[in-house]
A = this chain, B = another copy of it.
Amino acid sequence: MSTSRLPLKKYPLNRAFCFFESGPVLLVSTLRNGRANIMTISCHMSMGFTPLIGCMIGPWNHSYNALIETGECVLSVPGVDLLETAVAIGNTSGADIDKFAEFGLTPRKGAKVGAPLIAECLALVECVVRERPEHHEMFVLEGVAAWRNTERKEQRTFHARGDGHFIIDGETVNLRDKMVKWQDCI
């Protein structure tokens, strides 16, 4: 796993919920028996400021058993320059290929979990499995360390519509002064 210098900087954990709340496509990396893997997800939500993140990962995903067995993963937010890579990751299986090698991504050692950071992503959170609600293939993940790539030019994320179309971030509007009820959170 690479330990070379890459422009990832530690980020305040209690602000990391802002990486996910807009619903971008995420990459989930795991490490089991020395083998790293990556999957792509779009079904996730912010569940708390810790941060807590709920996400849907089922036994039909090769990463499912790694997540169950190790209780750890990294959630990474890819920029739009990684759109086709994220789709390719979501349409191949870690049972067949080494996705880091196949897609030219750089695994980097994190601070708190064994699963690798994906150095090319723009924001990353190391997570542990906090809970598994019954009846659904849902994991509640708790972030334990956060990182941000501060030198990356492309900061736009992308969102899956669920029908094979992807929506790229457009304009960002600042309405902080209208959030009168939530000034403590923003």
Contact = CB atoms under 8 A, between A and B. Distances in A.
Interface of A: 15, 17-18, 21-24, 42-47, 54-56, 83-84, 87-88, 90-92, 131, 133-136, 138, 140, 156-182, 185-186
A29 B133 CA distance: 26
A175 B170 contact: no
A91 B54 contact: no
Contacts of A92: 181
Number of copies of this kind of chain in the complex: 2
A182 B166 CA distance: 14
A162 B168 CA distance: 18
Among A45, A140, A172, A182, find the residue whose CB has the most chain B CB atoms closer than 10 A. Answer: A45
B169 A165 contact: no
A164 B175 contact: yes
Nearest to A177: B164
A3 B83 CA distance: 43
Contacts of A168: 170-173
Contacts of A179: 87, 90-91, 164
7 contacts: A21-B159, A22-B162, A23-B45, A43-B47, A54-B54, A90-B179, A136-B140
A43 B56 CA distance: 14
